[in-house]
Structure 1
Amino acid sequence: MTDADILAGLKIARDNHVATACVKPYFTSLAKQELSGSDVLVCPVVGFPHGNSTTEIKVAEATAAAKAGGAEIDMVVNIGKVLGGDWEYVSSEIRVVNKAVVACGAILKVIFENDYLKPEYITRLCEICTEIGVAFVKTSTGYGFVKQADGSYNYKGATVGDLKLMREISGEKVQIKAAGGVRTLDDLLHVMSLGVTRIGATATVAILEDAKKRGIGNEPVEVSFKPMKEEGESAGY
């Protein structure tokens, strides 16, 4: 993604009054300038997309991003440590990064990368994030392709089952962000019905255009939606 691509995305964010615009860390200051005067917050990513940076690097990166104008920081957990069950490491890292971010006046979202994780790992991460008091837990980076038995690579992103689990286990004050796989207005409405309060999507314009066509605006309105497929259903999601 070039700087021109990022600027184009920021224009979409500004024109459509989305909650935040996710950017690469180096682009934080410029994004802050580009979105000045709007209601869109800047959201830099940290340890992205693999989560392999040391804790010290994540703290430094998160602090720099927050000081440069990042109001929300999205950090990827150390996925290897999660899969290895090193919960002391995982918990300590989330805690110190959250402390650094909050000290700068920002909030932290913790990205799990659910495609790699069994339900018990997602459960434990939600418990840890609740104990620490992070603002959001987030499903995915968009880069979590998993190699299948036939050699192909598959990516699901936010699934109905995972979102239900995350909402069930996470404390009331912890919000849920669905990222990856939410491609239509129906998808968005479905995940919102599950308790999701933030969506990460590249189909922003198409989703909002569909919302206008269906009479969805600033005033409350009752709408129906086509549910997303759950794992195990024939069409597959």
Structure 2
Amino acid sequence: MSHQTLSREELAQYVDHTLLKPESTDADVAALAEEASALGTYSICISPSKLPIALPAGSTVKIATVCGFPSGSHHAEVKAAEAAHAVLDGAHEVDMVINLGAVKSGDWAQVQADIEAVRAAAAHPTVLKVIIESAALTDDEIVKACEASEAAGADFVKTSTGFHPAGGASVHAVELMARTVGGRLGVKASGGVRTAADALAMIAAGATRLGLSGTAAVLDGLDDDGTGPAASATAGATGY
């Protein structure tokens, strides 16, 4: 695993600063937006019912939300309606959960159609990320889920919701996802990325975006010289 050299500001621009706890209040979300703006993260990621949200004056932070979250077992039409509502409410990015039952059944036509429905409802320039719940999948399923996401017009594939008992992101899954999409799509690592070492390991593996809830602690973990700790080959392999 290669050693990454990133400044605090550069690492912050990888981050979707995330708050998806069901009990989160409007005040919690407002505080998240303030913190994201202060930290210089790329975006905030919040529940769709918390939209629309007013960002602090002068903030350049993007607004992301989730769709079909966290199970992915919703009807495609419901996911599409949720995504369309989110866009009207000001979301720049939508992170949808794949139909895991269809994945496990090997029904790749259904998997792709589900993503296509959301893509149609949240057209470009809205960024569509597909959460494949990689910890619950075999390597073959990870590859096929990424292929279905690309075929359906997604912009990113994303490892995890952070709510599945199988766990969150792993370096292995990120490497496999990045290899499969070959730079044509972004790769977001989320779930269990709690330290600077975790974050740098995911970026070294091919992640182009990170979903973090403890962003300040991760950024604070960078070395004073800005190079950060050496990336760990096992960072984020378990837990979320």
Scaled by the length of structure 2, the TM-score of the pair is: 0.84
For the residues of structure 2 that align with 1:174 and 1:191, how far apart are their CA atoms? 16
Question: 1:30-49 to 2 correspondence within 5 Å?
Answer: 30=53, 33-35=54-56, 37-49=58-70
CA deviations 1:111-142 (Å, max 9, x no partner) are 01112111111110111122233111000001
**Aligned pair count?**
216
The one-letter code sitting in structure 2 at the alignment partner of 1:50 is S
Query: Contact 1:133/1:174 (CA < 8 Å) preserved in 2?
Result: no
Query: What is the aligned counterpart of 1:66 among 72, 87, 90?
Result: 87
| Greater Rg over alpha carbons, structure | 1
Query: What is the aligned counterpart of 2:148 among 103, 114, 128?
Result: 128
Q: Which residue of 2 aligns with 1:8?
A: 31
The one-letter code sitting in structure 2 at the alignment partner of 1:140 is S
CA deviations 1:145-184 (Å, max 9, x no partner) are 14xxxxxxxx2x1101111110111132200000012111
CA RMSD of aligned residues (A): 2.0
* Change beyond 3 A, Cα 1:202–1:228: farther
Query: Contact 2:156/2:186 (CA < 8 Å) preserved in 1?
Result: yes
Q: Percent identity?
A: 35
Which has the bigger relative contact order, CA under 8 A and spacing at least 6? 2
For the residues of structure 2 that align with 1:120 and 1:225, how far apart are their CA atoms? 30
CA deviations 1:169-224 (Å, max 9, x no partner) are 1132200000012111111111111111111111200111223x4232xxxxx555
Structure 1's unaligned 5+ residue stretches are 147-154, 217-221
2:185 matches 1:174: yes
For the residues of structure 2 that align with 1:37 and 1:78, how far apart are their CA atoms? 38
For the residues of structure 2 that align with 1:195 and 1:24, how far apart are their CA atoms? 26
Query: What is the aligned counterpart of 1:96 among 117, 140, 146?
Result: 117
For the residues of structure 1 that align with 2:30 and 2:228, how far apart are their CA atoms? 33
Query: Contact 1:114/1:139 (CA < 8 Å) preserved in 2?
Result: yes
CA deviations 1:75-115 (Å, max 9, x no partner) are 00111111111111110111121122125x31100001112
2:224 matches 1:214: yes
For the residues of structure 1 that align with 2:236 and 2:83, how far apart are their CA atoms? 35
Note the C-alpha offset of 1:34. Answer: 2.4
Q: Which residue of 1 aligns with 2:130?
A: 110
Query: Contact 1:62/1:73 (CA < 8 Å) preserved in 2?
Result: yes
* Change beyond 3 A, Cα 1:36–1:112: farther
Partner-residue secondary structure (3-state), 2:60: coil
Partner-residue secondary structure (3-state), 2:44: strand
The one-letter code sitting in structure 2 at the alignment partner of 1:46 is C
2:43 matches 1:20: yes
Note the C-alpha offset of 1:4. Answer: 2.1
For the residues of structure 2 that align with 1:127 and 1:199, how far apart are their CA atoms? 21
Structure 2's unaligned 5+ residue stretches are 1-23
Query: Contact 2:204/2:231 (CA < 8 Å) preserved in 1?
Result: no
2:77 matches 1:56: yes
Partner-residue secondary structure (3-state), 2:123: helix
Scaled by the length of structure 1, the TM-score of the pair is: 0.85
